[in-house]
């Protein structure tokens, strides 16, 4: 009787283990697929022209207007998307007054496990690090709202290590237009806002 009980117990454990493994495998397979959220991001693919405007907090500096181009691509069958901005030639903090072409790149994705839109941002103007962002989508407004933060390099009125916070809105207007609104702050102090208006070429 005890022998029969042990056999039944082993069979039960084996069955539960096999069932759990199969379920985990199915869940993993499902979470690895692209879905409607990735299709939302696919709207940035193509060639675009943009106009932009930096507005500084406190009105101490005049707004800066600029323009450029952007190429949006999907990679790995639409699992991720890149936006590569080429702006005007401007003097960089590190360029000793020389004019350098502005470059900005974002990597966009949707994390099926976190159920969050994710993004990373780099540029050749101020940053040497990578800014990470996470956000959610409002289907009624067609807007992804991202938030993130990073430690700052030394800047006027800001010491090294100060946490800079980012709040970004990616607004899809129609198939040929979208807008990126970018806010930066440190503590309770807003630093500047940027709005980029993209038009498909």
- Statement: residue 165 has pLDDT above 80: yes
What is the signed CA dihedral for 71, 174, 109, 190, rounded to 10 degrees?
Answer: 90
Question: Percentage of the chain with pLDDT > 70?
Answer: 82
Backbone angles phi, psi at 20, to 5 degrees: -65, -40
Closest by Cα among 180, 192, 184, 183 to 48: 180
What's the distance, Cα to Cα, between the start and end of the chain in Å?
79
pLDDT of 117: 98
Mean pLDDT calculated for residue range 116-131? 90
Question: Percentage of the chain with pLDDT > 90?
Answer: 53
In Å, what is the CA distance from 117 to each residue of 59, 73, 94, 134? 33, 17, 33, 6
Mean pLDDT calculated for residue range 119-123? 94
pLDDT of 1: 57
Largest CA-CA distance found in the chain, in angstroms, rounded: 89
- Statement: residue 156 has pLDDT above 80: no
Task: Please give the Cα distance from 83 to 167 (Å, whole number).
Answer: 18
């Amino acid at each position: 009787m005890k022998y029969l009980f042990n056999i039944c117990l082993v069979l039960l454990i084996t069955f539960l283990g096999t069932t759990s493994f199969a379920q985990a495998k199915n869940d993993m397979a499902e979470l690895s697929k692209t879905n409607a959220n990735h299709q939302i991001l696919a709207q940035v693919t193509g060639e675009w022209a943009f106009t932009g405007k930096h507005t500084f907090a406190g009105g101490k500096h005049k707004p800066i207007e600029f323009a450029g181009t952007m190429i949006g691509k999907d990679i790995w069958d639409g699992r991720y998307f890149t936006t590569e901005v080429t702006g005007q030639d401007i003097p960089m903090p590190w360029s000793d007054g020389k004019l350098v072409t502005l470059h900005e790149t974002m990597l966009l994705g949707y994390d099926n496990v976190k159920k969050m839109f994710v993004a990373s941002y780099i540029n050749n103007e101020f940053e040497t690090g990578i800014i990470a962002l996470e956000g959610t989508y409002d289907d009624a407004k067609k807007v992804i709202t991202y938030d993130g933060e990073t430690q700052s390099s030394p800047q006027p009125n800001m010491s090294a290590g100060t946490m800079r916070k980012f709040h970004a809105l990616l607004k899809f207007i129609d198939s040929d237009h979208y807008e990126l609104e970018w806010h930066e702050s440190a503590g309770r102090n807003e630093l500047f806002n940027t709005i980029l208006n993209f038009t498909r070429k």
